């Protein structure tokens, strides 16, 4: 039996998650019981009449900070049965470590992920102290809150779950899994507006096609993301090809 990943999302805007989780791979994965994704309204964990979730920062300064009490209550409720070694509590914040494919792979092996969507100026630091949250950013830019960052993480993780994609090998050759960017792809017609699909892709020689694809992936990575080549697992033939590409350009 396949394991189910439970994703809980803590947010003051649960409505944001309605439509994005109802399409394609995520929808199918939910229907197949591979994943559950549950947005929780942080205001449901307040005890005051006005469901207040934020307050001014101690020491003065701009903006509002998310209060500790609703987040503590929510996390206690969501994690009281969790196995710490199989779960992760992640705070989405631009101050976090950058989200990568390798982190997505690690998360896809867990049983529970709790995503806390930060808002305003941040959340009370005592949440991090007590729940040892992993702070994660989706990139070096600031968006209005963690909700869209949470959606990015959910999508990247769910598609890696066993049986989430139709074909078993679908994620193996894509960008970042191999450490390189993808090679260019073509479909019919073979000639469109005078532009022809490379001959090698039409000749059916699988060895030549694999070589061409590897060379194009290396070329593209060298041109657009040379930083990736430092970490990519490269063979001797790859290094020779890179030298040739550099000579030619």
Chain positions contacting ligand ADE, by CB under 6 A: 92-94, 118, 137-139, 141-143, 145-146, 149
* Pick 142 or 195: Cβ nearer ligand ADE: 142
Nearer to ligand ADE, 93 or 221 (CB): 93
CB of 144 to ligand ADE, least distance (A): 7
Cβ atoms 39, 14 nearer than 8 A:
yes
Between 134 and 238, name the residue whose CB sits nearer to ligand ADE: 134
Choose between 102 and 243: whose C-beta lies nearer to ligand ADE.
102
**What are 98's two structure tokens?**
């950058």
Report the C-alpha gap between 82 and 84 in whole angstroms: 6
Residue 104 contacts residue 160 (beta carbons within 8 Å): yes
Q: List, in sequence order, every residue forming a beta bridge with 37; answer none if it has no partner.
A: 7
Q: Dihedrals φ, ψ of 116, to 5°? A: -100, 120
Contact 111, 134 (CB under 8 A): no
Q: Which residues pair with 40 in a beta bridge?
A: 10
Minimum CB separation of residue 93 from ligand ADE in Å reads 5
- In the complex, the smallest distance separating the C-beta of residue 91 from ligand ADE, rounded to whole angstroms, is 8
Residue 70 or 96: the one with the smaller Cβ distance to ligand ADE is 96
**In the complex, minimum distance from the CB of residue 18 to ligand ADE, in angstroms, rounded to a whole number:** 20
Distance CA 236, CA 116 (A): 44
Closest distance of CB 13 from ligand ADE, Å: 13
């Amino acid at each position: 039996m396949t394991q189910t990943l439970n994703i809980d999302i803590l947010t003051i805007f649960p409505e944001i998650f309605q439509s994005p989780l109802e399409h394609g791979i995520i929808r199918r994965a939910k229907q197949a019981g591979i994943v559950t994704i549950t947005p929780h309204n942080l205001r449901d964990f307040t005890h005051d009449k006005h469901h207040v979730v934020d307050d001014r920062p101690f020491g003065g300064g701009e903006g509002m900070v998310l209060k500790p009490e609703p987040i503590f209550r929510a996390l206690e409720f969501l994690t009281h049965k969790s196995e710490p070694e199989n779960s992760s509590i992640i705070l989405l914040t631009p101050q976090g470590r950058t989200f990568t494919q390798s982190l997505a792979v690690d998360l896809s092996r867990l049983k529970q992920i709790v995503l806390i969507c930060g808002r305003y100026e941040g959340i009370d630091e005592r949440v991090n102290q007590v729940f040892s949250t992993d702070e994660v950013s989706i990139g070096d830019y600031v968006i209005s809150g963690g909700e869209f960052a949470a959606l990015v993480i959910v999508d990247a993780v769910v598609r890696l779950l066993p049986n989430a994609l139709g074909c078993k090998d679908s994620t193996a050759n894509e960008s970042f899994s191999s450490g390189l960017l993808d090679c260019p792809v073509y479909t019919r017609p073979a000639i469109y507006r005078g532009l022809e699909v490379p001959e090698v892709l039409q000749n059916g020689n699988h060895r030549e096609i694999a070589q061409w694809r590897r060379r194009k992936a290396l070329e593209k990575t060298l041109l657009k993301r040379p930083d990736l080549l430092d970490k990519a697992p490269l063979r001797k033939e790859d290094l020779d090809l890179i030298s040739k590409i550099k000579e030619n350009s």
